[in-house]
Amino acid sequence: ALIITDDCINCDVCEPECPNGAISQGEEIYVIDPNLCTECVGHFDEPQCQQVCPVDCIPLDPDRVESREQLMEKYKLLTEAS
């Protein structure tokens, strides 16, 4: 999963771009629900939020490193559930 750092300027550009609805406005900055973030695997070649963020504040979360297979598995579970 990706994570939003405190460089976030609350511009709201990323939220509508997320195909999994993983991004929301948190108490101080925008936040990503790691259980919903597939790093865009299953939807797009590149993480869409990273593409649009004007301040580049959405790196990989070092505490939530996942393989492509794990991300694809998460994508399948999420799409089956919806």
What is the C-alpha separation between 1 and 64, in angstroms, rounded? 6
Does residue 14 belong to the site contacting ligand SF4 (CB under 6 A)?
yes
Those residues with Cβ within 8 angstroms of residue 31's Cβ, 6 or more apart along the chain or in another chain: 4, 23, 24, 25
Q: Which of 50, 44, 36 is nearest to 1 (CA)?
A: 36
Does residue 77 belong to the site contacting ligand SF4 (CB under 6 A)?
no
> Do residues 78 and 36 touch, judged by C-beta distance below 8 A?
yes
Could you say which of 3, 12, 45, 65 contacts ligand SF4 (CB under 6 A)? 12
Residues 19-58 that bind ligand SF4 (CB under 6 A): 20, 22-23, 30, 32, 37-40, 47-49, 52-53, 55, 57-58
Q: What residue ranges bind ligand SF4 (CB under 6 A)?
A: 2, 4, 8-14, 17-18, 20, 22-23, 30, 32, 37-40, 47-49, 52-53, 55, 57-58
